[in-house]
Amino acid sequence: MNNSFLLRLGLVVIMVMHSVPSFVNGSVIAFGSEYLANEGFGFLGVPIAILIKLIHLISIYTLLTNKYIRPTVILNALILVGGIIMIHWKEGWYVVGGGRNGMEFNFLLLICFFSLLIPQKNKL
């Protein structure tokens, strides 16, 4: 087992928790119809919210199989940067402690995703 697998597995857990519950409890619809619609996306809010969560679901497969990593990184980076711009930037850096709902978690996820694009050399 290499570092890339562990990193991808960690990202899978996060993608599962960012997608599956929102489909099960219906919060994806509320996110689209309430938040995104009010942020200027109008009637496209719900389809965009569903698309975001579907990208997270598809990312679970791509990360587990180590296939289509570049498009997975790019799509998730767009989502994460969008989240920083729309939600987290105005809250500051810290998720907890020195603040609330800040951008540090999205920043770390971006670094984790982009690190998957760096070729791995086997040292053993």
Per-residue HEC secondary structure of 22-78 comes to: HHHCCHHHHHHHHHHHHHHHHHHHHHHHHHHHHHHHHHHHHHHHCCCHHHHHHHHHH
78's CB contacts (< 8 A; 6+ apart) are none
Question: Which amino acid, one-letter code, is at 110?
Answer: L
What pTM value is reported for the model? 0.91
User: At residue 111, does pLDDT exceed 70?
Assistant: yes
pLDDT score at 1: 60
Summarize pLDDT for 1-47 with one digit per residue, the tens. 677 999 999 999 999 999 999 999 999 999 999 999 999 999 999 99
What is the Rg, in whole angstroms, of the alpha carbon atoms belonging to the chain?
Answer: 15
